[in-house]
A = this chain, B = another copy of it.
Amino acid sequence: MKRVANCLVGFCRRSRFHLHGKHLKPSAVLMSVVRHSSGGTRRVDVSGIYPPIATPFNKDESVAYDKLTENMQKWNKIPFGGYVVQGSNGEYVYQTPEERIKVVEYVAKTATSDKVIMAGSGCESTRDTIEMTNQMADVGAHAALVVTPSYYKNGMHNRALIIHFTKVADASKIPILLYSVPGNTGIDLDPEVIITLSSHPNIIGLKDSGGDIAKLANLVYKTQGKDFQIMAGSAGFLLPAYLVGCVGGVCGAANMLGQELCDLEQLYKEGKMKEPTILQQRIVAPNACVTKRFGVPGLKVAMEWFGYYGGPVRSPLQPITTEQEEIMRTVFKSSGFLT
């Protein structure tokens, strides 16, 4: 498998579906093993590029499952490690609990068998998060991405966060990854919390969208030997993240530039430096457009340019203006991704 070849820098983690020493394509049987194993079996390898897929909506804001199918058919052909479903780019906060679960189920069914399904299951309360995680496991998620609760900022001190994630991991049928996205939540998971939690047998990794590469390097160093997988939370620092020992990336830009990001990963793993560096430099500005600058409304417009269905966002998010679309187009052109 590509993801474990060419381990330049000593961060080969584990093969994705490892059983009795053999690398297997996951099957329904294996899935149930993964799913029902008590936490900590660590059979899920989350290395590689993961698009945090946008949830397609119809004009009336209902979920457009037909459009989701079309997008999945295209994404399935790209050598992604898997899919993040119901992440920040999936507008998960705008969906009812029922919708969140149903979309995960749909993606799990539509994905090819080589893709890991990582489901965003975080809620504000511990009890809701546990219930959501296990319901997503029941419909096919292989791992859960659990965002930090954030409403009571002063109350979300290190002790509270350790208790929260421990309770969720203890009760979850599937392994979980910590998810720190301070741009949305205002909570930047402290390295001490992450290091403490990295010893939990059912906590297998971290997605960090903060962009502090020194933090990521330090975390790789402090969790080595612990079977803990760290993922970059944006394409903006993907190559540096690989360099310091991250195993993959959950990259909003992979919704439309998935092949390019997989190329970057592959080139890096082949030991090349110049080519992936140039790709990395080119990707920063377009990536910033579809993340920080214009957000999901920008992402959905850009997806249309590359043959995917983008469609409307749910209110209160609003479509970008014509002027913003032109700015974004210029950025994509000047980086050579549009002609």
Contact = CB atoms under 8 A, between A and B. Distances in A.
Contacts of A282: 221
A26 interface: no
Nearest to A11: B277
A196 interface: no
Number of copies: 4
A212 B214 contact: no
Given A217-B240, A239-B244, 10 more contacts: A9-B273, A160-B316, A160-B318, A161-B316, A211-B214, A214-B234, A217-B236, A239-B243, A240-B243, A271-B273
Contacts of A161: 316
B10 A164 contact: no
Contacts of A243: 239-240, 243, 273, 277
Interface of A: 8-10, 61, 88, 93-96, 124-128, 149, 151-156, 159-161, 163-164, 167, 183-186, 211-215, 217-218, 220-222, 234, 236-237, 239-240, 243-245, 271, 273-274, 277-278, 280-282, 284-285, 287-288, 292-293, 295-297, 314-318, 335
Contacts of A221: 281-282, 284-285, 335
B212 A126 contact: no
List the 6 closest pairs (A to B, CB-CB), nearest first: A214-B236, A240-B240, A164-B316, A221-B281, A94-B125, A126-B315
A124 to B, nearest CB: 4
A40 to B, nearest CB: 21
Among the interface residues A156, A212, A284, A292, which one has the most CB atoms of the partner chain B within 10 A? A284
State the majority secondary structure of interface residues on A.
helix
Given A277-B10, A296-B155, A237 B211 contact: no
A26 to B, nearest CB: 30
Given A183-B153, A214-B211, A93 B315 contact: no
Nearest to A238: B214
A156 B213 contact: no
Contact of A152 (B8, B154, B220, B296): B296
Contact of A186 (B186, B240, B314): B186
A151 B126 CA distance: 19
Given A155-B295, A234-B214, A284-B218, A160 B240 contact: no
5 contacts: A93-B152, A94-B124, A159-B318, A239-B244, A244-B280
Contacts of A96: 128
B314 A126 contact: yes
Among the interface residues A213, A239, A285, which one has the most CB atoms of the partner chain B within 10 A? A213
A218 B288 contact: yes
B127 A277 contact: no
Contact of A214 (B94, B271, B288): B288
A318 B222 CA distance: 28
